[in-house]
Structure 1
Amino acid sequence: MNPQTLRFSTSDTAIPFEKRLRLFPSSRFHVFPVFLCSDVAKSPHFIRSKHGVAAIRNCKDLVSSVSRRIDPISQREVGAPRVGKTVDIATLGNLCVDIVLSVPSLPPTSADEKRAYMEQLSASRPDKKYWEAGGNCNLAIAAARVGLRCLTLGLVGDEIYGRFLVEVLGEEGIGMVKMNEDAETSASNGISYETLRCWVLVDPLQRHGFCSIHDFSKEPAFGWLTMLSGQVKKAIGQSKILFCNGYAYDELSPDLILAALEYARHVETAVFFDPGPRGKKLFCGSPQQQRALKMYLKMSDVLLLTADEAESLTGATNPIRAGQELIRESSHTRWVIIKMGSRGSLLVTKSSVSYAPAFKVDVVDTVGCGDSFTAAVAFGFLQNIPPMNTLVLANAVGGATAMGCGAGRNVASLEKVIELLKASDLNLENFLGEKLVEDDLETDLVILSKSIPNGVGDKIKCVSVEKVVCDLMPRLQIKQKGAMAPL
């Protein structure tokens, strides 16, 4: 391939590199390592992004292409504790194209009626203006925008939807590794597959309904995939975090998902797990699903759940107690994070509990807020940022996403996040504070506050939001000014 050509996908579309540089000033570029999903082991591919340009021949090149860098804040070598790990976060599965449509009413609840409704929706291809990158693309895009280097591991078809996802991710500086890339399984066995699509339906009251043709299948969409390819193992080995959520079970077999966890633990890659709405179903699912869920809850470094999800898995109505129960049952979990929407969020460790109220925002759309929140948690985890500071950043990134319409490329921008942090307008109307504390609570509670109130009690300690924002701002402003990302 001509090295002067910038290639977006597996299609024949190629755009001269010089032309792209004229469109995007050089001051916006720096080297950024990526994989592209086609033939990464055979030929280099170039990818243009807001974060950089790189040519990667294979997984080994990913390691050698990254120069030694120093964190401008801590003045330590970036990634020093994990030799050879040049990717910050890799997502497992759950790559799809969202079709976002306004509808007069949400889909019917009856299975038969819903299937008929779904068949009617999918009868013709919707206009491309309604397409958006969905699933784990939301997390990857939000993570890239706060300076993390990201990979997505999954399957997309060699058709218009698949090429759309590759292009969108490429524009954000995010690489992709196909999970069957070096196995040639589909070609040799005559297996064909299409990019997953999900219809995101919004009614006049801004309520959401989600429909996919795979909702009606009892088997994973890509259940024929039985082993991790060499490329996927290399990608996991070179990543500092592997993220998996409950939606991965819709497309991958429990055994394959469990194999990814076991390999991540083998190569000392941290694991983030968010069971999501699928958690309750998996808890009562097949023996294989139950086993995989149990192992992820036990072996993950970071668990992320809503308060309802935490209660359904532990039976504890107090979110602090639910978080502590999950840590007690785990052999590896360092953080349990409870997401509570407009009431804020909790971060539970073995020795502490932190609570940060949400920021006041004008909510337009909540799709993608949880994914954006997780991206900021990954940033804090990798940078050894204190738990409270991590929660505040995550609340800001999630809140900034809620102010936009839809997810994908519409998730929070760094500028909007900084704006929210500077305003520091906490939503104290839904403040939980002392409501979380019980007489026999095992640890103190640290809460975020606009000021240090009097008489909050022996078990509650306060941290000023101004101090937390002051600590966070230098890292974010370095990224905003276009300097090399902290990670």
Structure 2
Amino acid sequence: MKEIDVLIAGTPNIDLIVPPYDALPGPGEEIRVDNMYVQCGGGVAITAIGLSKLGMKTMIYGAVHNDLFGEFILQEMRKYEVKMKTRLSEKSTGLSIALDVDKDRRFITYDGCVNEVMPKDIPKDLLEKTRHIHLTNYRGRIDLEEYLQFIEDAHKAGATVSMDVGWDDTGQWDECLFKITKKLDVFFINDKELMEYTRSAGLDAGIEKLTGFCSHAAIKMGARGSQLLTDGEVIHGKAYSVITLDTTGAGDSFNAGYLYGFLNGLSPEKCLAAANFCGASSVQGYGGYEKVPNLKQLKEELK
């Protein structure tokens, strides 16, 4: 038994979530909403909290700034029993404002210290204490060599590695990503990202191309469910029919459910079912983790 089940490299940010409204205010105008929600955000925090709620020993290795939001992050991690190894950053805590205007999601983001700690900063002795490392915040070719070396080091230390690629806001969609996916134990991507990276017009074509670069990938498709590529076989996971309040962090909650199944030796079908249940639970509340199930609830569902 190792001390840490899942180690996540990176730094949480703050999500300021504004409930849906019809239109942005015009110049000099003001609108009022029923509430606003402040939560820890980003794949680092939401995946870590989701895994901890499922009984996994989880740690974040990142940075923190000595400000109000930084203290809030530390409090939330203590609340959900996520361990944190941090170094003090001079940059303030990152903040993302999530707007839902006329059913169209929009974000205003300040990165702050989010990208200050990278995988290469994780000490080798910590890798040896860890079963699995989950990577986020991939930035394209600038991260290529570092990620390849880190994955090799993690495997040498006896840890498995997963990565969620995330949206490429540069618009480059550099295919150097596939050098990394060949090395991963689990790769997470959504359908839109997959079609961009594979230059494919449809999902099936994208998955077919991905089979040449990855042996184990979970593809998230929102309300259409998910697909799992494992050793050349494609398995479909059905979506849940739920009332959606907020999609913030649904994909990261999906990742938490899948990694729980993967690390506990569940079948591919059960891993996908756990992932879909966690993702569907997440969207029924505001923020990424308040409604994510605990271990008892997930086990009941998987029966």
TM-score by length of 2: 0.82
Q: Which residue of 2 aligns with 1:202?
A: 100
Given that 1:368 and 1:411 are in contact with CA atoms closer than 8 Å, whether structure 2 keeps it comes out as: no
CA shift for structure 1 position 106: 5.5
Matched, 1:134 2:24: no
- Equivalent residue letter for 1:336: A
Alignment match of 2:182 (pick from 274, 298, 308): 298
Matched, 1:100 2:17: yes
Given that 2:11 and 2:114 are in contact with CA atoms closer than 8 Å, whether structure 1 keeps it comes out as: no
Distance (Å, rounded) in 1 between the aligned partners of 2:54 and 2:18: 29
Given that 1:280 and 1:309 are in contact with CA atoms closer than 8 Å, whether structure 2 keeps it comes out as: no
Describe the shift of the 1:351–1:201 C-alpha distance in structure 2 as closer, same or farther (beyond 3 A): closer
CA shift for structure 1 position 282: 5.2
Alignment match of 2:82 (pick from 166, 169, 174): 174
Matched, 1:213 2:110: yes
Distance (Å, rounded) in 2 between the aligned partners of 1:348 and 1:227: 26
Q: Which residue of 2 aligns with 1:236?
A: 127
| Structure with larger Rg | 1
- Equivalent residue letter for 2:241: K
Given that 1:106 and 1:201 are in contact with CA atoms closer than 8 Å, whether structure 2 keeps it comes out as: no
SS for the counterpart of 2:60 is strand
Describe the shift of the 1:227–1:208 C-alpha distance in structure 2 as closer, same or farther (beyond 3 A): closer
- List alignment gaps of at least 5 residues for structure 1: 1-78, 80-84, 114-128, 285-289, 422-471, 474-487
CA shift for structure 1 position 207: 3.7
Given that 1:359 and 1:396 are in contact with CA atoms closer than 8 Å, whether structure 2 keeps it comes out as: yes
Given that 1:99 and 1:131 are in contact with CA atoms closer than 8 Å, whether structure 2 keeps it comes out as: yes
Q: Which residue of 1 aligns with 2:6?
A: 89
Q: Which residue of 1 aligns with 2:171?
A: 281
Higher relative contact order (CA 8 A, sep 6+): 2
Query: Cα deviation per residue 1:209-268 (whole Å; 9 max; x = unaligned)?
Result: 2112349xxxx9656x68844x643333322221112x3539x96665555334223323
Q: Which residue of 2 aligns with 1:153?
A: 61
Residue-pair matches, total: 293
Describe the shift of the 1:279–1:197 C-alpha distance in structure 2 as closer, same or farther (beyond 3 A): closer
Matched, 1:386 2:277: no
Matched, 1:397 2:278: yes
Distance (Å, rounded) in 2 between the aligned partners of 1:392 and 1:227: 29
Distance (Å, rounded) in 2 between the aligned partners of 1:362 and 1:130: 18
CA shift for structure 1 position 168: 0.4
**Any residues of structure 2 matched to 1:25-424 within 5 Å, and which?**
79=1, 85-102=2-19, 105=23, 130-135=37-42, 136-178=44-86, 181=87, 192-203=90-101, 205-214=102-111, 222=115, 228-229=120-121, 232-245=123-136, 247-249=137-139, 256-278=146-168, 281=171, 283-284=173-174, 291=176, 293-329=177-213, 333-414=214-295, 417=298, 421=301
SS for the counterpart of 1:167 is helix
Pairwise CA RMSD: 3.3
Describe the shift of the 1:86–1:318 C-alpha distance in structure 2 as closer, same or farther (beyond 3 A): farther
Distance (Å, rounded) in 2 between the aligned partners of 1:408 and 1:389: 21
Distance (Å, rounded) in 2 between the aligned partners of 1:107 and 1:209: 14
Higher strand share: 2
Given that 1:141 and 1:409 are in contact with CA atoms closer than 8 Å, whether structure 2 keeps it comes out as: no
Query: Cα deviation per residue 1:21-54 (whole Å; 9 max; x = unaligned)?
Result: xxxxxxxxxxxxxxxxxxxxxxxxxxxxxxxxxx
Given that 2:12 and 2:45 are in contact with CA atoms closer than 8 Å, whether structure 1 keeps it comes out as: yes
Distance (Å, rounded) in 1 between the aligned partners of 2:212 and 2:93: 39
Given that 2:9 and 2:61 are in contact with CA atoms closer than 8 Å, whether structure 1 keeps it comes out as: yes
Given that 1:368 and 1:406 are in contact with CA atoms closer than 8 Å, whether structure 2 keeps it comes out as: yes
Deviates more, 1:148-157 or 1:236-245: 236-245
